[in-house]
Amino acid sequence: MNSPEARTLESATAAFVSFTPQGTMTPVNAGSVPDNKTRRYDRQLRLWAASGQNALESARVLVISGSATSTSILKNLVLPGIGHFTILDAEKVTPEDAGNNFFLHQSSIGKSRAEEAVKYLAELNDSVESVADTSTLANIILKDPTYLASFTLVIAHNMSTLDLVPLSTLLWENAHNKPNPSPPLIVIRSAGFLAEFAVQFHEHTIIDSHTEALPSLRIDKPFPDLETHALALEFENMDLTDHGHVPYVVILVRALHEWKQKHDGSPPKTYAEKKEFKSQLTNMKKKIDEENFDEAVAQAYRAWTATSVPREIEALFSDPACTNVTSESTPFFLLLHALSHYTRRTGLLPLSSTLPDMKSDTTSYIHLQNLYKTRAREELEDFAKVVSGVLDEVNAPQELRTTVEGLIDEFVRNAHGLKVMRGRRWGDDDDGALLAAIASYPAHVATHLALSALYSFEKSQGRYPTIGSADDLGAMTAWVRERLGKAGWVEEPDPEPQNAGIEVDAEDEEDEDAPEPEPTFWKRVQNALGEVARAPTSDLPTTAAFLGGLVAQEAIKLVTKQYVPLEGVCVVDLVASTTGVITV
């Protein structure tokens, strides 16, 4: 991800801006020594840039309970500079709490857990605002239903089912409230070495997904100035130095043009033709060691890869939020709507101005780069007109118009990696999805069911299982059996020794060389239930820290709207040292 090819000139230059004391950022002279705040955040600004940092600093997170897992998550959000966090916790610090939580101290015992945890977390970053709230959730929701809507994200660790159900329902149902929609919710459950978490959200759109896919260079559909340039070069009359420095992009455009003339306008199609095309490139060499021609051969696939609107982007155009835009639409969907109009006319995404590095001399490379930049600017202006038309059509108010227009650059630069995610409501598993997940990821589903059994037990008994209790393990086991029976799961027979390994193909992450036969699904369930029964109320510091990192990464991705967040349930098994994602 750090290769010079992947880095664009734009991101290299646009990533760095400075901060004003108010916390908003304005581009400054890129040549000055950065101020203290920029220096402090340098290693993360190189990932999510000023736009991500601004989003993070505007975010307000509510974390319910001051458990070790909760403070581990918060630590990883306070350090990078989240705007605000509240810990909601009515409990007092117990001796047990002070033993597994780095953000409590022996001297915290007996004091408010919210206040103590906030005190030790706030030390990490002076620019973060923090609140310790010692009320109970039930009281808060009763007193002020709008309280939750003041947050960007709510995080709940090992919350009692009786509290979680109304909380998740409230957040889900009020997610479209105007003017204060309810935020997404992350639900985390852990016991000993096992854990899982999921994000409840309706919709998440991403402009900058940081995709590793590269935008097309349009070798197969060269824009006029690129084609003219490629056809004007006189390879035959060049001296050896110039010939060895023609950028491979130009070589490919030229070679493809000549190929098409001899092949009824078609690019190389069959394996034999592709091979022939490559050998023609090699034959163009004047000297054996011309690296630019070697690059052309290595990149030859670009000549027969048709540039079109990527299927994943095309699919977004039929999303109802994209087809029906109004002045209430989000900037993302207004831009996406405009993009669907634009591509219907052109058949192509607007050109990205980024050109990877390639063997060339400075003049040829910069000339080529300018051709791309000029064309990209023209297409951007063209797209901006379409956007303007869309904004007129929906009668967009001035504020929305300004926001949308300010995003056009970034939108076009990342058009090949746009994402729309539709999330799910937190709650019970779907039978069909559960069966499908068992077939694909039996180990992860087993962990998920064991943790579901733990919280089903907690809900029905009003207490957690007693550590090591066989009766309580029996009750949880019975619950899983019943749940599986309801889903229509049929227990498979114990595998015959000679059959061992045949079923393994269905799983994509087991070690095929393992001499041990794969455990049956029921055995996996028993393994997971056994772990839960062994440590039903253990918030193990290493598991807490592991979750702290995972959940904070997801929170950052959700808040910054950069990178791609989790889709489904993330399952963690630190006995096996694995993670997995299942959709149930």
**Binding segment (CB under 8 A) for another protein, from list 261-269, 357-365, 385-393, 479-487:** 357-365
CB 187 within 8 A of CB 396: no
81 in contact with another protein (CB under 8 A)? yes
- Give the nearer residue to another protein in terms of CB position, either 390 or 550: 550
Contact between 584 and another protein by CB under 8 A: the answer reads: no
What distance, in Å, lies between the first and last C-alpha atoms of the chain? 32
Least Å distance, CB 477 to another protein, is 12
In the complex, the smallest distance separating the C-beta of residue 324 from another protein, rounded to whole angstroms, is 29
Contact 268/259 with Cβ under 8 angstroms?
yes
Q: Confirm or reject binding of residue 213 to another protein (CB under 8 A).
A: no
Say how many residues touch another protein, by CB under 8 A: 104
Minimum CB distance to another protein smaller for 68 or for 87: 68
Q: How far is the CB of 16 from another protein (least distance, A)?
A: 4
Q: Is 71 in the site for another protein (CB under 8 A)?
A: no
Piece of the chain touching another protein by CB under 8 A; list 68-76, 133-141, 293-301, 400-408: 68-76
**511 binds another protein per the rule CB under 8 A:** yes
Residue of 91, 273, 319, 361 interacting with another protein (CB under 8 A): 361
Instruction: Report in angstroms how near the CB of residue 145 gets to another protein at its nearest.
Output: 32
Residue ranges in 393-452 that form contacts with another protein under rule CB under 8 A: none
Tell which positions 169-198 bind another protein, by CB under 8 A: 192-193
- Region of residue 381 (left: phi > 0; alpha: psi -120 to 50; beta: else): alpha
CA angle 511, 517, 519 (to 5 degrees): 90
- Between residues 123 and 328, which has the closer beta carbon with respect to another protein? 123
The closest of 44, 64, 65, 66 to 55, measured between CA atoms, is 44
Residue closer to another protein, measured from CB, 80 or 184: 80
Task: Indicate the residue among 394 and 475 with the shorter CB distance to another protein.
Answer: 475
Q: Does 72 bind another protein (CB under 8 A)?
A: yes
Strands 153-157 and 60-64: parallel
Residue 98 makes contact with another protein by CB under 8 A: yes
By CB under 8 A, the residues from 518 to 547 that bind another protein are 526-527, 530-531, 534-546
Query: Quick one: 106 or 318, whose CB is closer to another protein?
Result: 106
Specify the residue, 92 or 221, whose C-beta has the smaller distance to another protein. 92
The reply on whether position 30 binds another protein by CB under 8 A is: yes
Residues in the chain: 584
Minimum distance, C-beta of residue 27 to another protein, in the bound complex (Å): 11
Q: Which is nearer to another protein, 277 or 441 (CB)?
A: 441
Comparing CB distances to another protein, the nearer of 129 and 392 is 129
Tokens, residue 286: 């004047």
DSSP labels for 156-213? EES--HHHHHHHHHHHHHTTT-SSSPPPPEEEEEEETTEEEEEEE-SEEEESB---SP
Residue 578, beta-bridge partner list? 573
Q: Segment 277-336, which members bind another protein (CB under 8 A)?
A: none
338 or 528, CB closer to another protein?
Answer: 528
Nearer CB in complex with another protein: 210/341: 210
Q: Is 204 in the site for another protein (CB under 8 A)?
A: no
Q: Least distance to another protein from the beta carbon of 575, Å? A: 4
Closest separation between CB of residue 497 and another protein, Å? Answer: 21
Count CB-CB contacts under 10 A for residue 406.
11
Please report the sign of the dihedral spanned by the C-alpha atoms of residue 4, residue 10, residue 13, residue 17.
negative
Q: Which of residues 100-139 bind another protein (CB under 8 A)?
A: 100-102, 105-107, 109-110, 123-125
Q: Torsions phi, psi of 478, nearest 5?
A: -60, -40
Burial degree of 308 (CB within 10 A; 0-12, 13-18, 19+): middle
36 binds another protein (CB under 8 A): yes
Binding flag, residue 95, another protein (CB under 8 A): yes
Cα(354)–Cα(167) distance, rounded to whole angstroms? Answer: 46
Print the binding letters for residues 229-268 with another protein: x by CB under 8 A, - otherwise: ----------------x-----------------------
Q: Under the criterion CB under 8 A, does residue 15 sit at the interface with another protein?
A: yes
Alpha-carbon distance values, 545 to 103, 454, 539, 542, 554 (Å): 12, 21, 10, 5, 14
Backbone angles phi, psi at 39, to 5 degrees: -65, -40
DSSP string, 287-336: STT-HHHHHHHHTTHHHHS-----HHHHHHTTSHHHHS--TTS-HHHHHH
- Pair of tokens at residue 158: 């090992």
CB of 492 closer than 8 Å to CB of 521:
yes
Among 229, 554, 559, 560, binds another protein (CB under 8 A): 554
Residue 491's SS3 state is coil
Applying the rule CB under 8 A, the residues between 451 and 510 that interact with another protein are 467-468, 509
Of 420 and 487, nearer to another protein (C-beta) is 420
Q: How far apart are CA 476 and CA 451, in angstroms?
A: 9
